[in-house]
Copies of this chain bind each other. A is one copy, B any other.
Amino acid sequence: MKTEQVFKALADPNRMKILNILCSRDCACNVGEVAGCCTVDLSVVSRHLAILKNAGIVSAIKRGKEVFYHVNRTEVAALLRQIAANIEKPCCS
């Protein structure tokens, strides 16, 4: 989980909407359900999900012809807290 990749992934408004909807549902969502959160084409949502997945923010599980996505809550939270701690300390890196 590279911080640069994570920040890049979170820097897009549509991906944030996608992340929010995935967070709000406790169960995993398929691409079609996620796509309801924004007006862009479903193929675009699929790409955004791939970016979030490559960044380690979400995970995908294939079941039948559908792919269910869910947020890696603890990992993402841990990373953000670690970065917060580093910034708070007088010496970052």
The reply to whether the CB of A80 lies closer than 8 angstroms to some CB of chain B is yes
Copies of the polypeptide in the assembly:
2
B84–A84 CB distance below 8 A: yes
Q: Which of A70-93 contact B (CB under 8 A)?
A: 71, 73-74, 76-78, 80-81, 83-93
Q: When chains A and B are docked, how far (Å) is the Cα of A4 from the Cα of B85?
A: 20
The reply to whether the CB of A13 lies closer than 8 angstroms to some CB of chain B is yes
With contacts A8-B11, A16-B4 taken as known, whether A87 is within 8 angstroms of B76 at the C-beta atoms is yes
Q: When chains A and B are docked, how far (Å) is the Cα of A93 from the Cα of B20?
A: 7
Q: When chains A and B are docked, how far (Å) is the Cα of A83 from the Cα of B7?
A: 13
Closest 9 CB pairs of A and B: A23-B92, A80-B84, A77-B84, A11-B11, A7-B10, A77-B88, A7-B11, A8-B11, A80-B80
